[in-house]
Structure 1
Amino acid sequence: MAEDAQRDEDGVFANHQASEDQALGSERRAQPLSLEQLLKKREAEKAAQARPVFLSKEERQAAALARRAEEVAARRAQLEREIAAAAHKDEIERRRELELIKQQYLGAGPERKKAPKATERFKFVFDWDAKEDTSRDLNPLYQTLHDAPLLFGRGFRAGIDRREQRKAAAGHEAELLRASRSRTGAAASAEDRRQEARRAAEADRYEGKDMSTDAHWSEKRREEMTERDWRIFREDFSISYKGSNVPMPLRSWEEAGFPDPVRRAVERAGYAKPSPIQMAAIPLGLQQRDVIGIAETGSGKTAAFVLPMLVYILGLPPMRGRPEVEAEGPYAVVLAPTRELALQIEEETRALAHYTDFRAVSVVGGQSIEEQGFQLRKGCEIVVATPGRLVDCLARSYAVLNQCNYVVLDEADRMIDMGFEPQVVGVLDAMPSSNLRPVEEEEEEEAEGGGGSAVEKAMSLRKDDNDEKDDRDAKANSMDSPSATIKPPTIYRTTTMFSATMPPAVERLARKYLRRPTVINIGATGKAAATVTQRVLMLKDNEKAQALERELETMGEEQRIIVFVNTKRQCDAVARTLDALGYRSTLLHGGKTQDQREESIKGFREERYNVLVATDVAGRGIDVPNVALVINYDMPHSIEAYTHRIGRTGRAGRKGAAVTFLAPGDTEVYYDLKKFLEDSGAPVPSQLAHHEAAKQKPGAAPRREAIQYAKK
């Protein structure tokens, strides 16, 4: 027994000793290795890996079998996963199929919300819905919403009444001041109460720029107009700009600030208010800015460039009675494509220069060039010319352009179409190139906000006649002294271009001779005026005479009518037909002399003739008032010519009509005419709309038809 007890004690002691050794070992293992031990261990592992290990054949076979077993196990696990995924997918499809069967046969479908009746849709519900949070009203976070003031109380939120926002900001400021005084125990003084009442009154007052109380732009003075008013004004008159630092348009003639001679001439001409092109172009012209105007025919473009030109010349030294100034050539040149248009511009220029001593000379073909050269040598401020005749005068030294710094190209696209581009370039190159505005200076002026008005800038150059004579005498006596030389102020060239379209050749001219021009678009360019009613009749050539007679019978005897044809022979034939019908008709075509053409236009304007039969020579630029009807007896070969033909009626805001006889031989313009009528909102005849030539542009590749072959 004693031995057994001794053995038990020894066993307990041994177990206790083993547990202590195990605890000490775990403590040792728990301690991390030092850096030296880690480095030694890594070096040993590298050495072991670098040392080659030689395996016996049995060991290599065992390793290969182990790798093979691992690959087989991995492949089996992958196969089991794929089988399980397929089974899961089949189970989902089976459940979905069962659900569809239940819906089909048991009527178990998704719960749909019943649409409320119209009478119950806006009915007030007194009961709470189970999804609504009834404790929200008791939450202080929602009871005291934080409204952050924008820009420290000076900003406004869009879409909310500005007056109400000002009142709320003033009330919030007053509440903060009262809370601050209550914390400090200070009482509000009389001055504090007055300031608080003043702030509340200012916040409650309507501002002039508030949209709710803003007046119409026609009821405001010019200085009261806002940016929004100008935007509405431009939209009302279909005015659009392309350029920088564009001045605001005119609303009335009083806002132009014309000198007295020009203002009186406008009143004498009976212009009640400016047209849209005049509203936009005159302020730019008064600043001597280069302008490209694109507007519909009959919109008053002539006065839009003549009036700023007269203001510009009024600011220059007088020319009459000063041979040394007259010998340097005119101050301004206006180029027009046709003789008739040039003579018309000359006539209107003289009317607007009635209260000045300016002389306007026309230089056109069909007249004696020697007589025109004599008039040019006598001196004139303004020359209105066609490009070809003016180039001839320059070549023969009948004219010089040494001091011409104001150029107008009217109907520039028409001049290019007629092949006058070399002549136009020759005229522009004959002017002093040193007067072209440098690009750098133009950029500086634009950065400073544009140049000043010509009424202010140019008139400052003009002096009293007596003072100017004294100055010239004083300068003449002191010319020998180099120190007395005074450099005259630089006057840069101003170029104004009006055109109905902008072909590449016109853009090329503009890039070369215009400096940062402002492009003005009035209305929808390339379209007929809204005052012109268009009709197209599909006829054969032998049906045109009867149709012409029917159209003329609907018009009164005193109404002016223009009949356009394509050839001089057709013009004579139609005129003979009209004479046989008893109409007072006259002819206008290129086969007539200049005197005959002028006499025809004069008689038509004076109502000695009520029908004018003309070719395209009168289709552009000729302004005959109160033309009630334009008949295109022959459809022109281009849609541009059609546009300018029908532009002879419906001018200056008056109503007019245009009737076109469309023949089977005019298929090359079917597509363009159909598109033009659709864009202008005019009716398109069904024969034209469904004609094959009107479905695609001439010259386009024909659309290949789909061919279906019969199955065998």
Structure 2
Amino acid sequence: MTEEEVAAYRKELEDIKVRGKDIPTPVKNWNQCGLSSRVLDVLQKGGFARPMPIQAQALPAIMSGRDCIGIAKTGSGKTLAFVLPMLRHIKDQPPLAQGDGPISLVMAPTRELVVQIGKDIRRFSKALALSVVCAYGGSAVAGQIADLKRGAEVVVCTPGRMIDLLATSGGKITNLRRVTYLVMDEADRMFDMGFEPQIMRIVHNIRPDRQTVMFSATFPRAVEVLAKQVLESPIEIQVGGRSVVNSDISQSVEIRPEEDRFLRLLEILGEWYERGKILIFVSSQDQCDNLFRDLIKVGYPCLSLHGGKDQSDRESTINDFKSDVCNLLVATGVAARGLDVKELVLVVNYDTPNHHEEYVHRVGRTGRAGNKGTAITFIAPDDEKYAPDLVKALRESGAPVPKDLQALADSFALKRKAGTVQAHGSGYGGSGFKFDNEEEEERKALRKVAKEAGMSSDEEEADESEVRKVMPGEAAAAALAAANATANALNTAVRTVPARCAPKVAECIRVCVQHGMPVTPMQQMPAYPQAPSMWAAPGSQLPAGPHFEAELEINEFPQHARWKVTHRDTIAQLNELTGAAVTTKGFYVAPNQQPPEGERKLYLLIEGPTEAKVREAKAEIKRILEEFTEKAMRRDAAPQPGRYTVT
């Protein structure tokens, strides 16, 4: 085809937009894709008559060996766009030997999406005698380990569980040496959900000459910049607009206060219940359980799905929903990604989605693979901050915007210009967690109980210490003075300590004294001549410039909370997230006891290059402490089972 014919054909394919160098021509049928006869037979039996728009352009791009970013609306066939090239890629590689890891690695943000992708791949892998393993948290790891040990060409996983499997048994379970085809599905959500450190750890352990593919229905610019760090000269393929609702979905938005929503929902169910499957989205686990209970009371059999349920229960719920055991499902956002149910005719956003991309993915559960669907969204007058996102989604997809919704969005825009409210975020980046009034009251009550139980103190509520700036000379001088003073007091041969060694020497002497061990003169130690060079090694020097530090006392928190924040994995994650270094100081002192003279109770020293990073690390540590303190209190408050049972 000529360039003009290619441009015209891309226009036909829902106006495909491409970016990059040497982009292959889109295909028109499966026979042009270079697929084996076995795969073509499966496609024919599955009713796949011809490639969908994203597949028509992505298949030749990926099969040419190029890195690729695919952006297409929900239900557009993105999964098949990376699965078919993956199968041909694997069959072109030498077969797996004993101890080899997978050839292809597919990462997804949620367990449900991992299961769905695994099911789609197995449809083709059986015909090619390829093995597929799904690895995700919340389920028994023993079965996943056994499957990996037997060898698998494809592993579909969540990032966290994959890191756990790679680290288990010293890396003997599986490895990444053979991975040459890497896929990140729903890539934007993986970065947004905080998986970036895990993703980067995995990516950096995969050979650099791999092929990397990313797919998602939404791809905000901020995430795109981050994603391109792991791609090499990628081809970007965009079908339709960025973050656009499928044109096959009929959308409507109704302004309804919360007290009127349930009655309106019953009206909708009366009209739609016999037509097919219905999915109702809510914002929280409590709301999900409450709405599930209310629907059961009024005679509507339904299922509920949220992150608080066990993985086996979640899988059973999805299977029941797909297999017509029950056609009504109430769910939180955990089901919004990758849930593929063909007969889903209606999506109801009982609670308003909190940003544009979330709305696109929720309503995208219907109207899939060319079918028609309907989405109804409720928004309360108090939720006017979400109105601009809804207006944007409706306009970009060509749907009519209700006048009352437009008025609500205009009202919020005027308030924003006047400075009385702030613009609502996109869901990416964020500004940190904030308690609402009810949660804040519960938090205060928990802190009060903790204080009465001796697990909290006034000093903690007053934020024990502010962040302070430390000049380089101050830290070195303090450590040097501490080391020399301790050495002199012990009357040993240690009289002077090199400045670079001071912190380590002081710490060693202090530990020896604490445990009643004799302090050997430093000059007589074999390692003493190497000490200066060790401290001069990269990464072990004291900061060369000014830095900031803060302290956080943790002695009074429950044991499990102390263990969590002092664990090396937690400290490493804090360092990756904030760039701050966390050091455990002092000694644990039991309740109603005093620390030894000259010592302090257990605390954390937080150091960082900027005040903001130190504050960020300190806030995250506090969050972890409060979370595990709350768990400990609730566990202790739970009724204990008796020794005997009545039979």
Q: TM-score range by the shorter chain?
A: 0.5 to 0.7
**Equivalent position SS for 1:575:** helix
Q: Write out the 4+ residue segments of structure 1 that deviate beyond 4 Å after TM superposition.
A: 692-695, 697-701
1:196 aligns with: none
2:175 aligns with: 400
Q: How does 1:252-291 map to 2 (within 5 A)?
A: 252-291=29-68
1:411 aligns with: 186
1:540 aligns with: 257
**Equivalent position SS for 1:691:** helix
Q: Would you say 1:362 and 2:134 are equivalent positions?
A: yes
Q: Would you say 1:374 and 2:143 are equivalent positions?
A: no
2-structure distance, mates of 1:334, 1:692: 40
Q: Would you say 1:226 and 2:34 are equivalent positions?
A: no
Q: How does 1:117-516 map to 2 (within 5 A)?
A: 225-237=1-13, 238-319=15-96, 322-323=97-98, 327-396=99-168, 397=171, 398-432=173-207, 436=208, 492-503=209-220, 506-516=223-233
Cα distance, 1:415–1:697 mapped onto 2, change above 3 Å: farther
1:179 aligns with: none
Higher alpha-carbon Rg: 1
RMSD between aligned residues: 1.9
Q: Percent identity?
A: 42
TM-aligned CA deviation for residue 336 of structure 1? 0.3
Cα distance, 1:698–1:427 mapped onto 2, change above 3 Å: farther
User: Unaligned stretches of 5+ in structure 1?
Assistant: 1-224, 437-491, 705-712
**Equivalent position SS for 2:329:** strand
**Equivalent position SS for 2:128:** coil
Any idea what the Cα deviations from partners look like across 1:423-465, whole Å, max 9, x if unmatched? Answer: 1111111212xxx2xxxxxxxxxxxxxxxxxxxxxxxxxxxxx
TM-aligned CA deviation for residue 556 of structure 1? 4.4
2:593 aligns with: none
The number of residues matched between the two structures is 417
- Tell me, yes or no, if the aligned pair for 1:299 and 1:652 is still in contact at 8 Å: yes
2-structure distance, mates of 1:421, 1:659: 33
Cα distance, 1:692–1:348 mapped onto 2, change above 3 Å: closer
1-structure distance, mates of 2:402, 2:275: 30
- Tell me, yes or no, if the aligned pair for 1:583 and 1:610 is still in contact at 8 Å: no
Q: Would you say 1:686 and 2:463 are equivalent positions?
A: no
**Equivalent position SS for 2:400:** coil
- Tell me, yes or no, if the aligned pair for 1:329 and 1:379 is still in contact at 8 Å: yes
- Tell me, yes or no, if the aligned pair for 2:19 and 2:237 is still in contact at 8 Å: yes
2-structure distance, mates of 1:267, 1:364: 31
Query: TM-score, length-normalised on structure 1?
Result: 0.57
1:696 aligns with: 413
- Tell me, yes or no, if the aligned pair for 2:352 and 2:377 is still in contact at 8 Å: yes
**Equivalent position SS for 1:554:** helix
Cα distance, 1:694–1:303 mapped onto 2, change above 3 Å: farther
**Equivalent position SS for 2:27:** coil
2-structure distance, mates of 1:346, 1:698: 48
TM-aligned CA deviation for residue 261 of structure 1? 2.5
User: In structure 2, what residue type is equivalent to 1:348?
Assistant: D
More helix by proportion, 1 or 2?
Answer: 1
Cα distance, 1:540–1:695 mapped onto 2, change above 3 Å: closer
Any idea what the Cα deviations from partners look like across 1:323-368, whole Å, max 9, x if unmatched? Answer: 2xxx120000000000000000001100011211110000001112
Query: TM-score, length-normalised on structure 2?
Result: 0.62
**Equivalent position SS for 2:127:** coil
2-structure distance, mates of 1:697, 1:601: 43
1-structure distance, mates of 2:197, 2:277: 37
1-structure distance, mates of 2:409, 2:16: 38
Select 2:300's aligned residue among 540, 560, 583. Answer: 583
Cα distance, 1:550–1:693 mapped onto 2, change above 3 Å: same
User: In structure 2, what residue type is equivalent to 1:357?
Assistant: A
2:333 aligns with: 616
Of the structure 1 ranges 503-512 and 302-311, higher mean CA displacement relative to structure 2 is found in: 503-512
TM-aligned CA deviation for residue 687 of structure 1? 2.1
User: In structure 2, what residue type is equivalent to 1:229?
Assistant: E
1-structure distance, mates of 2:419, 2:182: 46
TM-aligned CA deviation for residue 392 of structure 1? 1.0
TM-aligned CA deviation for residue 389 of structure 1? 0.6
Cα distance, 1:375–1:701 mapped onto 2, change above 3 Å: farther
User: In structure 1, what residue type is equivalent to 2:103?
Assistant: Y
Cα distance, 1:617–1:249 mapped onto 2, change above 3 Å: same
2-structure distance, mates of 1:582, 1:589: 22
User: In structure 2, what residue type is equivalent to 1:388?
Assistant: G
